Amino acid sequence: MENPHRPVLYSHPFSSYCQKVLIALYENGTQFDTRMLGPDDPDAYTELVSRWPVKRFPMLLDGERAIHEASIIIEYLQQHYPGPVRLIPDDAEVALQVRMLDRFFDNYISTPQQKIVFDAMRPESDRDPHGVADARAMLDAAYGWLEARMQGREWAVGDAFTLADCGAAPFLFYADWTHPLGESFPAVTAYRQRLLARPSFARAVDEARPYRNLFPLGAPDRD
Ligand SMILES: N[C@@H](CCC(=O)N[C@@H](CS)C(=O)NCC(=O)O)C(=O)O
């Protein structure tokens, strides 16, 4: 039976976790409305915080049901608004690998990347150089693991674009700005380029271009 609601995404175009969900929505051509979190709609942020005091976004509101956490929103969309692209494969073993890679990109690419960016937004006196050094070491380790994994692969798991690639795209995009891949990780760099060429992510990147001034480390003049 067709779902009677049109879900509403509370998000900001420059946010990596919002882009992760936008990729899933665009891959399947899912119809949705947006409440953009920003000065033009202060009520949107108030509503987000009233439902999710940890103040993290995106949030998907489907009728009165709020869904949090980008990966879970993508799982929810597949269950409730299925489209032609199965981002969580039907095969349980392959789906397990997809979820493992999804955790990898969240925990070991995005989390250290965010640590470095959030640190740069603090006043000089409140910075945490030790934590930032740990985050850079984590990114180097994660890049190394991914470099070995991506040999001969097009996407993170199997032959198809999945949930894992939805996260990889924005997280590697910003991670390379924050802690450059350089020359040492050619397979990861090539994977990042393939992700940038994927129409769903290219659209999200284009929609976020006007906000590059928000990047506290200075957005590089590329991508
Ligand atoms: N675990 C969350 C992380 C979401 C997240 O970190 N979102 C960022 C934007 S990219 C955010 O809400 N930042 C606002 C803040 O830290 O106050 C998810 O998977 O959705």
Ligand 1 center from residue 56 Cα (angstroms): 4
Cα distance between residue 10 and residue 4, in whole Å: 19
The residue whose two tokens read 């420059």 is 14
Q: Is the pLDDT of residue 4 over 70?
A: no
Mind listing the pLDDT tens digit for each residue in 48-102? 999 999 999 999 999 999 999 999 999 999 999 999 999 999 999 999 999 999 9
Confidence band for 205, pLDDT divided at 50, 70 and 90: very high
Rounded to an integer, the average pLDDT of 155-176 is 98
| Cβ(16) – ligand 1 distance below 6 Å | yes
Identify the CA nearest to 217 among candidates 139, 131, 118, 134. Answer: 118
Beta-sheet pairing, 59-62 with 33-36 = unpaired
Rounded to an integer, the average pLDDT of 140-163 is 98
| Cβ(53) – ligand 1 distance below 6 Å | no
Confidence band for 2, pLDDT divided at 50, 70 and 90: low
Q: Is the pLDDT of residue 218 over 70?
A: yes
Report angle CA 133, 220, 56 to the nearest 5 degrees: 60
> Which pLDDT belongs to residue 10?
98
Rounded to an integer, the average pLDDT of 106-115 is 98
Residue nearest to atom 15 of ligand 1 (CA): 56
| Cβ(173) – ligand 1 distance below 6 Å | no
Tell me the two tokens of residue 190: 């090539």
Q: Is the pLDDT of residue 156 over 80?
A: yes
Rounded to an integer, the average pLDDT of 170-199 is 98
| Cβ(70) – ligand 1 distance below 6 Å | yes
Q: Which domains does the chain have, with CATH numbers?
A: 92-198 (1.20.1050.10)
What DSSP string runs through 154-194? SSSSSSS--HHHHHHHHHHHHHHHHS--TTS-HHHHHHHHH
Q: Is the pLDDT of residue 1 over 90?
A: no
